[in-house]
Amino acid sequence: MKVNARGGGIDAQALKAGAKALQEAAYAQRDHAVALEKGEALLPGGPADATPHLSFSERLLAAERSAPDSPVDWSALPNLRKATPAEIDAAWSAGKSLYDASFALTRVAQLGVYLEPDPRGLGSPRHELDMRNQIIAAIDELTDRLQGLGALGAVFDVESLGAMRALADAQRKALVDLHGSDLILSPKFKGPPPRLEAGRAPDVRRLPETKALFAADVATFEQALAALDARLGDDAVAASLVGARAKLPEPERPAFDRAVAGFALLADAALNAPDYANHAKGAGDRQEYRGHRVSGFRCRIRQHASKATLRSVITRAARAKAPVAQLEKKLLLELGRELGVPEGEVKRWAVVPEAIVAALADETFVPLRALNEGAAGWMRRHRVPEAETNRVVWDLTQAVVEGRFPEWRVGNAGSEAQLAHLDARARQAWLTPTSVHKPTDQPGLTFTTTEATEKPHEIFWATKVGGPSHGFDVMPHCALACFINARNQVLLAKDPRWPNFAGRAYLRLFADPQTKAPLLFLEGMKSDFPYPGQGGLLERAIVEHALEKAKAMGAKLALSPYLSGHIQDMGLPGEWRADTRYELAPSLLVEAASVFGDHDWKATEREVRSMRNPQFLVDTNAL
């Protein structure tokens, strides 16, 4: 018997369709809860004054959901002007249950693909048992999530819900019959080692051509002026800048040139970035942004308004009595406006032109706009007030544009609590970025792993590698959890033949609940979507990097079951454990780590959690 995604096992398409229906129902419940909390009914497609608590994008989304083919039964949402706390709690609870079930359903569908036999015989045998174990865990989770959802039948229509559960039960039985009841990974697990070779050279010619501006493109006044003119297309702007610069004394010209470079970088970013306030969606990988391949998600009205505003602001500032000071001040204000930060908030920030230019040159604009325009909406499903989310996002943004993000990330109240259990040696080792260089089977070619904190802004694009959920476009609050929590480190795998990060893996810092000793956990590596190289050697370098970090800290290290091939091939000492508990110190706001079962959650209190899958606890003392 061969269990696969097509041959009587998992119908991935049916599961994905069911997951979408559950998500729609979850959105409906969330909006219902918002309406109850605000004391007014949610009127899809109605006038703006009927739903003042909703943004334009939310009203538009609500109108779309009221279409005839929507799985949501809007007639089940009563037109209530008042609601009891119990009714509000019930609405939020229903929404969360539906959301959790949709994620569980999606996970089963995704894992089912791994069980489909490769007709070329080029599958990954080392992951076969791992995948079967993972899918059983996912089916069990789905079964748990579906409990009690029958009472919500009036809110959504998923006729296949019972069939899906029967399918899940049948798939579980088939897997158990095939492999036995004990599928928990153990030290007895055997499988071939991962393929440790560099692979063929990636064909970068297939990637979108880079059109974005970088520091080298605006290094001189002439370059910056040409770049700005190409984007704003206004001779009056160029003439005003040239005239203002000619009147300046020589010592003031470098600052003037830097401000012009900043405006060129800002115009390039603002006129080619997604409009998250209205679309909440972006491109799939980093090179698509650099190639300006996100036109489908732009808002033309916003683009035209931004272009007109930048033209006017730059011209007036250049004609002011103190053009350098005015350009620097307006650069900060316009950056804040384009990111979606209220002007009153931005006026409190220090004007640090060199930090602004550095942040823009390092491509922080897009992730910062996504956070400022999207995180608060996502955090509402955790019942976090917008003001609370905005405060954290604004503080982070301020730290970036003032050039002190690395210090803020380590020194905020949440991060201090997360590092409090470390002694001086362990703290120094955790906060000091290190690198691992891994020679390949090709002469002269070496792969490298670094930490995303090695450079001030690399972490903002690290989360974009390997999946949309922790990228900033989709669910930006999950990326926020990486940016604000010092316990979360990202190990970056770099192939010198590839223009972006080839892969990344999360290395997380926790504490042993009993001894308070540091306990590290390394997740499996995710590869950049278009990267065609072999990941085995990159992933091996990441494992070695984590081992070196654990030894330097004197800490225990747990490894994900996705790394089982490396564990076996490297002969690492240790044991598989399913009962390890991890203490999580409070965060400023949110944490995101699906290894604990919940994809993301409000994390402002101390917690002790267990992971849903077994981990390999390395005996670092024996290394």
540-554: pLDDT as tens digits: 999 999 999 999 999
User: What is the rounded distance in angstroms from the CA atom of residue 309 to the CA atom of residue 330?
Assistant: 11
Beta bridge partners of 439: 446
Which among 460, 526, 5, 436 is positioned nearest to 269, based on CA atoms? 460
Beta strands at 556-559 and 518-522: parallel, antiparallel or unpaired: parallel
Residue 347: Cβ within 10 Å count = 11
Alpha-helix runs per DSSP H in 493-555? 536-553
Q: Please tell me whether residues 165 and 230 are part of one structural domain.
A: no
Q: Please tell me whether residues 89 and 114 are part of one structural domain.
A: yes
Q: Please tell me whether residues 418 and 386 are part of one structural domain.
A: no
Residue 303: Cβ within 10 Å count = 16
Alpha-helix runs per DSSP H in 437-563? 459-462, 476-484, 536-553
User: Do 22 and 98 meet the contact criterion of CB atoms below 8 Å apart?
Assistant: yes
Total tally of structural domains belonging to the chain: 3
* pLDDT averaged over every residue in the chain: 78
Q: What is the DSSP letter of 380?
A: G
User: What is the rounded distance in angstroms from the CA atom of residue 581 to the CA atom of residue 117?
Assistant: 36
User: What is the rounded distance in angstroms from the CA atom of residue 232 to the CA atom of residue 237?
Assistant: 8
- pLDDT cut 90: percent of the chain above it: 46
Q: What is the CATH number of the domain that holds 526?
A: 3.40.630.30
Q: Considering 132, 155, 179, which residue would you say is the last residue of a domain?
A: 179
| Residue scoring higher pLDDT (181 or 84) | 84
Output the six-digit token pair for 237.
């702007």
Q: At what angle do helices 221-232 and 253-270 cross, to 10 degrees?
A: 30
Q: Is residue 579 part of a domain?
A: yes
Q: Is residue 156 part of a domain?
A: yes
Beta bridge partners of 508: 488, 521
Alpha-carbon distances, residue 386 vs 26, 42, 157, 376, 394 (angstroms): 19, 19, 31, 5, 12
Q: Is residue 102 part of a domain?
A: yes
pLDDT at residue 415, rounded to an integer: 98
Q: Considering 384, 402, 420, which residue would you say is the last residue of a domain?
A: 402
Q: Please tell me whether residues 432 and 379 are part of one structural domain.
A: no
Encode 17-86 in three state secondary structure.
HHHHHHHHHHHHHHHHHHHHHHCCCCCCCCCHHHCCCCCHHHHHHHHHHCCCCCCECHHHCCCCCCCCHH
Q: Is residue 425 part of a domain?
A: yes
User: Is the pLDDT confidence value at 304 over 70?
Assistant: yes
pLDDT at residue 157, rounded to an integer: 35
Q: Considering 162, 179, 196, which residue would you say is the last residue of a domain?
A: 179
pLDDT band at 58 (very low <50, low <70, confident <90, very high): very low
Q: Is residue 185 part of a domain?
A: no
Q: Write the pLDDT tens digit of every residue in 122-175.
A: 333 334 444 555 555 565 566 566 555 544 443 333 444 455 555 555 555 555
Which among 267, 302, 295, 265 is positioned nearest to 281, based on CA atoms? 295
User: Do 307 and 232 meet the contact criterion of CB atoms below 8 Å apart?
Assistant: yes
Output the six-digit token pair for 99.
């959301």
Alpha-helix runs per DSSP H in 485-605? 536-553, 564-570
| Residue scoring higher pLDDT (63 or 551) | 551
User: What is the rounded distance in angstroms from the CA atom of residue 36 to the CA atom of residue 5?
Assistant: 42
User: Is the pLDDT confidence value at 293 over 50?
Assistant: yes
User: Is the pLDDT confidence value at 191 over 70?
Assistant: no
Query: Residue 580: which domain range?
Result: 409-622
Residue identified by tokens 């229903």 is 94
User: Is the pLDDT confidence value at 307 over 60?
Assistant: yes
**What is the per-residue burial (b if ≥16 Cβ within 10 Å, else e) of 475-484?**
bbbbbbbbbb
Residue-level length of the chain: 623
Q: Please tell me whether residues 78 and 137 are part of one structural domain.
A: yes
The helix (H) or strand (E) run that includes residue 437 is strand 436-439
The helix (H) or strand (E) run that includes residue 526 is strand 526-527
Q: Please tell me whether residues 566 and 443 are part of one structural domain.
A: yes
pLDDT at residue 344, rounded to an integer: 97
Q: Please tell me whether residues 132 and 115 are part of one structural domain.
A: yes
Q: Please tell me whether residues 355 and 450 are part of one structural domain.
A: no
Q: Please tell me whether residues 357 and 280 are part of one structural domain.
A: yes
70-74, 320-324, 421-425, range with the lowest pLDDT:
70-74
- Alpha carbons within 13 A on the beta-carbon side of 310: 31
User: What is the rounded distance in angstroms from the CA atom of residue 425 to the CA atom of residue 411?
Assistant: 18
User: What is the rounded distance in angstroms from the CA atom of residue 30 to the CA atom of residue 106?
Assistant: 19
User: What is the rounded distance in angstroms from the CA atom of residue 497 to the CA atom of residue 364?
Assistant: 23
Q: Is residue 189 part of a domain?
A: no
User: What is the rounded distance in angstroms from the CA atom of residue 85 to the CA atom of residue 91?
Assistant: 10
User: Do 602 and 589 meet the contact criterion of CB atoms below 8 Å apart?
Assistant: yes
Q: Please tell me whether residues 128 and 23 are part of one structural domain.
A: yes
Contacts of 533 (CB under 8 A, 6+ apart): 198, 199, 200, 202, 495, 497, 498, 502
Residue identified by tokens 């009127």 is 43
Alpha-carbon distances, residue 600 vs 137, 351, 360, 469 (angstroms): 19, 35, 29, 10
Q: Is residue 19 part of a domain?
A: yes
User: Do 557 and 620 meet the contact criterion of CB atoms below 8 Å apart?
Assistant: yes
Average of per-residue pLDDT across 433-456: 91
Backbone angles phi, psi at 581, to 5 degrees: -115, 145
The helix (H) or strand (E) run that includes residue 323 is helix 323-339
Q: What is the DSSP letter of 557?
A: E
Encode 77-137 in three state secondary structure.
CCCCCCCCHHHHHHHHHHHHHHHHHHHHHHHHHHHHHHCCCCCCCCCCHHHHHHHHHHHHH
Q: Please tell me whether residues 429 and 384 are part of one structural domain.
A: no
Task: Calculate Rg over the CA atoms of the chain.
Answer: 26
User: Is the pLDDT confidence value at 256 over 80?
Assistant: yes
pLDDT at residue 463, rounded to an integer: 86
pLDDT at residue 434, rounded to an integer: 94
Q: Please tell me whether residues 474 and 569 are part of one structural domain.
A: yes
pLDDT band at 614 (very low <50, low <70, confident <90, very high): confident
Q: Is residue 198 part of a domain?
A: no
Output the six-digit token pair for 414.
């949440």
By CB neighbour count within 10 A (0-12 exposed, 13-18 middle, 19+ buried), where does 227 fall?
Answer: buried
pLDDT band at 86 (very low <50, low <70, confident <90, very high): low
User: What is the rounded distance in angstroms from the CA atom of residue 7 to the CA atom of residue 5?
Assistant: 6
